[in-house]
Amino acid sequence: MSFQAPKGTFDWMPPRSELALAVRDAMSAPVRRAGYGYVETPTFEDTALFARGVGESTDIVSKEMYTFEDKGGRSITLRPEGTASTVRAVLQHGLQNGPLPAKVWYSGSFFRYERAQKGRYRHFSQVGAEALGVEDPALDAELIQLAAEGFASLGLTGVRLLLNSLGCAACRPAYRAALQDFLRALDLDDATRARVELNPLRVLDDKRPEVRAQLGGAPLVTDHLCEACKGYHEEVRSLLTDAGVAFADDPRLVRGLDYYTRTTFEFVHDGLGSQSAVGGGGRYDGLSEMIGGPPLPGVGWAIGVDRTVLALEAEGLAAPRSSGGVQVYGVALGDEARRLLFSLLIELRRAGVTADMAFGGKGLKGAMKGADRSGATYAVIIGERDLAAGAAQVKDLASGEQAAVPLAEIVTTLKERLTQ
RNA sequence: GUGGGUGUAGCUCAGUUGGCAGAGCGCCAGGUUGUGGUCCUGGAUGUCGUGGGUUCAAGUCCCAUCACUCACCCCA
């Protein structure tokens, strides 16, 4: 076979793929319980939506987008993140005119053209949640708590929450200018100098030791927040504390996207290779206007499904759950028995019992081998003799005990035994 | 975009100074024609990543290339 998954991508295959499903379920369950509705937007959008929404100055837009021209000459981009699309959909359908906040969540694939490494691929999967139309610290706190709840429900104990505030349109410009003054005086390479002019906050996030060493005396956002931002941030912190959500203040925490204001947070984990974030988000009060909408404050997060699976594995929580396994495995001898077994399995499944059978005309030995490997608790064996007796052999695969059960009682018997 | 490492069976890998392509696991079959796991026996599976070069002879040496992987940058 000459094909393989495209460069920088990978396949989720059983049994490991069960973990990806478990993460999606675990992260979405809390938000669903909190009244967030499911939205599904196209996997691609007008390129300009991301250019304006995510920000021209970001690496995502400047070099990591999968952009192409469609047959109608439109510039199309595979979504590199979920917030811009979600806000676009909310505005397009007028949710901002309905009850606020508009609370929505999503789950899907995202794309960034990057060199792959552990925890970072060209195709990745996120679960996200957004609350739009209301500026209320309780909403920021709710979202953060819901994500923390999701991680906890997976059994993860190594996820840490970092919290910061980036200020607002009133106080950020002054801070930005102060930071630029500081950064311009440093000894930096050309790329970083350019970043100082475009997006100085991101320089604080540089991991290189030679850069880090110079950032010691950098002005911090927290010292430049206006009264409104300070009060807002204090309220978020206090609500989180009351809710029992542990967090660490990190005045250096910035995010890669241009639209963030005020509350910014990141969930980090140490088991992700060189990556650190399993999820992150924040408030983005100016995003709607950036993409041509009315003023519409918002707050949200996205959790990396693949990275969360890595975190699970790093914590030894990747125990093989029921990976597509079944409870009952059918083995038939002869065509007539096989037809009967086929129908019996359908009945079992309708009764809520998971069931599989031997396919491909294997002999009894081979079929029993299949029963063993399926991980089933019981095998149901039907041969000519059983057929004549109107019964089937029900075998406990762990103990090896086997007994004939009348065909009419098979479903109820198995269901009973399995729910004990 | 930059740098390091690795490419041999489905998987994990061995392969000596260049000399017949290997092991374990898995898979299939039989031992047991109505019974799985353990055990025994047998079997199938290879573009040695790809292309070129050196050589009587290349998995092994040389060059190029591709892929994977880890890291930088950046981010979920």
pLDDT tens sequence across A235-260:
999 999 999 999 999 988 887 677 78
Contact A9, A121 (CB under 8 A): yes
Q: What pLDDT is recorded for position A347?
A: 96
Q: Which residues contact A102 (CB under 8 A, 6 or more apart)?
A: A90, A95, A96, A131, A132, A133
What is the distance between the alpha carbons of residues A182 and A194, in angstroms, rounded to a whole number? Answer: 14
- CATH 3.40.50.800: which residues of chain A? 328-418
- Least reliable range by pLDDT among A191-200, A224-233, A236-245, A314-323: A314-323
pLDDT tens sequence across A365-404:
889 998 988 889 999 999 988 999 999 999 999 889 999 9
Q: Which nucleotides of B are covered by protein (CB under 7 A)?
A: 1-3, 27-30, 32-37, 47, 67-76
What is the pLDDT confidence band of residue A1, given thresholds at 50, 70 and 90?
A: low
Is A114 near strand B, with its CB below 7 A from some atom of it? yes
Over chain A, what is the mean pLDDT?
90
CATH superfamily, domain at A328-418: Anticodon-binding domain (3.40.50.800)
What is the distance between the alpha carbons of residues A226 and A228, in angstroms, rounded to a whole number? Answer: 5
pLDDT tens sequence across A120-133:
999 999 999 999 99
Q: What is the ipTM of this complex?
A: 0.85
Does the annotation flag A261 for ligand binding?
Answer: no
Pairing of strands A355-357, A298-304: unpaired
As to burial, measured by CB atoms within 10 angstroms (0-12 exposed, 13-18 middle, 19+ buried), residue A207 is exposed
Q: What are the phi and psi torsion angles at A111 (to 5°)?
A: -140, 130
pLDDT above 70 (res A331): yes
Is A118 near strand B, with its CB below 7 A from some atom of it? yes
DSSP codes, A179-198: HHHHHHTS---HHHHHHHHH
What is the distance between the alpha carbons of residues A41 and A390, in angstroms, rounded to a whole number? Answer: 54
Q: Which residues contact A207 (CB under 8 A, 6 or more apart)?
A: none
Number of residues in chain A: 420
Pick the CATH number of A17-171+225-314 from 3.30.930.10, 3.30.450.40, 3.30.420.40, 1.10.3720.10: 3.30.930.10
Q: What pLDDT is recorded for position A236?
A: 97
Average pLDDT over residues A335-345: 92
- CATH 3.30.930.10: which residues of chain A? 17-171+225-314
